[in-house]
Every structure is written in structure tokens, then in C-alpha cells.
Amino acid sequence: MSLVNTKKMLEQAFEDGYAVGAFNINNMEILQAVINSAQKNNSDVILQVSKSALLYAGPKYLKYMVQAATEETNINVALHLDHGPDFETVKLAIENGFTSVMFDGSQLEYKENIRQTKRVVEFAHEKDITVEAELGKLAGVEDEVNVSEKNAMYTDPDQAVDFVEKTGIDSLAVAIGTSHGAYKFKGEAKIDFDRLKLITQRLEEAGFKKFPIVLHGASSVEPECVEICNQYGGKLSNTKGVPNKILKEVAKLSVCKINMDTDLRLAMTAAIRKFFALNPEKFDPRGYLGEGRNLIEKIVDNKIKNVLGSVDSSKLQKVELM
Ligand code: G3H
Ligand code: 13P
Ligand code: ZN
């Protein structure tokens, strides 16, 4: 099956109250694990690649690996640029068959973010490529967020409307309390649900009905994987992710795309650490990379089936081939 953009898959997700998983890939095993799981569950899926992953694997390798992985599938798969930092990277991704891009101008001054995002939208839409952009700043664990800091960092609902109006983007990544990596919260995990609801309400009032929201930094940092890492020589302490319960709730609301990378990295590392510790005499990479692939598939399976709710989403709608 050919790749599709994210337009219809996110619309359907909003309509039916689930979210599509966006999983970061950068090598063959991770890609296979994600695709196997999505195919098994008849689920739409977004394969996403960051700029550093593009540099690591090479755009051509990624392009043809994804082509190989999707040739035999009958699900909707989008290939998406994650956190595109500039126009050149967006262009490189599109030239290499990506069907969706994120331009991340969240660190730019607001007007400049609008200007650069709009340029990306004009370029991408001409080729039927969907565009995601970000407004607000994702906090890290070191950031103790009080109310005024929250207002400064988190996505402002009125500004979100202005941003969507002026840029013409297809989906909006918001800052509502999550952050990238394995250390997301010091104490209890807290997400600003009221802000999320208000963003969607303001968008609806402005005529953007059912506008897809994207949640970055959404790994749950599965304790099972952290424990395996630590049992076999790892040193990961005070890790904390977004609980699956919270992800389930936002998926029922306006969040239609949920981004996960850290969970896959931890699964791969846990499986490899364990394999090395238990098989010190073995040195065939297929042994340990295969174990990594198996554990990632298990983690992705659990997300699709028990958290995102996207099982059988590909059956609900067959998106036109690109
Ligand atoms: O949001 C960032 C993703 O986890 C990608 O990270 O730039 O290390 O590939 P990366
Ligand atoms: P995690 O670090 O929580 O996996 O977030 C990944 C992400 O947002 C990729 O864009
Ligand atoms: Zn992200």
C-alpha cells in the first residue's frame, strides 16, 4: 500500500475519539516492529523521523526501507518529518517521499514562527503534504511550573486560533505539560486538561471544527522496560512518563496524534541489555537486535490496543492512495 498524508486519518480519529500513534523510527528493526504491530491490529499508523534520524540513517535508506515495509500492508501509513527545524529539512523530507511534515518554530519569536510555518504550508500543500506546527514550549523536569510561567510556556488558546488562521496548518502540537525524554515530572504527572479543552473550544468558535491536536512527549516510560534496563546494568533513576490513563483520556478528546520515541528506545535498550547479560558468549547482532524488535512490538501493541484505541482504524476508512 502506498503512503498517505495524515489528513483523513486524523479527521477520523477526532470523529471516533481515538488517537493515531506516531512512532519515531531510525533503523530497520524499529520500523519492522511498528509496522508489524499496526498491521496486526489493522491500525492507521504514523512513522516519524527526526532530522537527526534522517542524518543517522540517510533519507534514501529510510525512504526505501519504509517502501519495503509498506509494500505488503493494507493499512494507512504516513511518513512524517518530526520537529523539522527549517525549510531545507522539510524540502529534503518531501523530496524523499514523506507525506507529512512538522515544522517546529516553537522557539522562534511568534511572528517569525508564523512566517516560516506559512512558507512550509504553501510549499507542502501544493504537493498534498500535510503540515503540523507547534505553539508553546514543552517543559522539562527541571522546570517547576507556576501559574505565570505556565501562561508563558503553555499554548495560549487565543493565540492558537490566530496561529491556525494565519498559517493554514493541518494540525497543532500543543504544550500542556508534557516534555520529551524519560524524566517528565518530578512528582505526580500533571496535564492541563482545561487548557486542552479551551484550545479546542476556541478553535471551534472560530470555525475550525474538530481541529486535530498533537501531543508530543507522550511516552509513558514503561516501568517494565526501565526495570529490565536497571536489572541488567543500566542506571536510570527517577524516570517518569505520561501515565497511560492520561493518554487514554486525551485520545478521547481532541488529541488525534500521540508521539512516542522514548518508549521505543527504552524497549530496545532493555532487550539488548538483557540479551548481553544472559548470553555473554553470543555476538550475532540478529540475536540481540531481534530481541529489541520483539520488545518494541510488544510495547507498540499495548499502546494501540489498550491506550490509543486505534485498533481497526484502517478498516473504518480507506484513505485514497497518494
Ligand atoms: O522529539 C524528539 C524525538 O524524540 C527525536 O529525537 O532528535 O534524538 O531523533 P532525536
Ligand atoms: P517522548 O520523548 O515522550 O517519546 O516524545 C517523543 C516526541 O514527542 C517525538 O516528537
Ligand atoms: Zn516531539
The CATH number of the domain where 204 resides is what?
A: 3.20.20.70
**Mind telling me the catalytic residues?**
82
Query: Considering the domain boundaries, does residue 293 fall inside one?
Result: no
Query: Considering the domain boundaries, does residue 121 fall inside one?
Result: yes
Query: Considering the domain boundaries, does residue 232 fall inside one?
Result: no
- pLDDT in the model for residue 140: 73
- pLDDT in the model for residue 316: 84
Query: Considering the domain boundaries, does residue 14 fall inside one?
Result: yes
Low-confidence ranges of the chain (pLDDT < 50): none
Task: Work out the burial of residue 317: count CB atoms within 10 Å of its CB; fewer than 13 is exposed, 13-18 middle, 19 or more buried.
Answer: middle
Half-sphere exposure of 212 (CA within 13 A, CB side): 26
Torsion of CA 119, 91, 73, 306, to 10 degrees: -60
Is 184 within 8 Å of 139 (Cβ atoms)? no
- pLDDT in the model for residue 149: 79
Residue among 156, 153, 101 at smallest CA distance from 123:
101
Query: Considering the domain boundaries, does residue 112 fall inside one?
Result: yes
Query: Considering the domain boundaries, does residue 46 fall inside one?
Result: yes
| Ligand 1 within 6 A of CB of 52 | yes
For atom 8 of ligand 1, the residue with the nearest CA is 52
Q: What is the pLDDT of residues 202-237, one digit of tens each?
A: 999 999 999 999 999 999 999 999 999 999 999 999
Query: Considering the domain boundaries, does residue 276 fall inside one?
Result: no
| Domain carrying residue 145 | 7-220+239-262
Distance 217 CA to ligand 3 centre (A): 5
- pLDDT in the model for residue 317: 76
Residues in contact with ligand 2 by the CB-under-6-Å rule are: 24, 82-83, 180-181, 216-219, 259-263
Return d(Cα 93, Cα 261) in angstroms, integer.
19
Query: Considering the domain boundaries, does residue 233 fall inside one?
Result: no
- pLDDT in the model for residue 322: 60
Provide the number of structural domains found in the chain: 1
Distance 216 CA to ligand 3 centre (A): 4
| Residue 66 grid coordinates | 519504509
Q: What is the pLDDT of residues 132-171, one digit of tens each?
A: 999 999 977 666 677 777 888 999 999 999 999 999 999 9
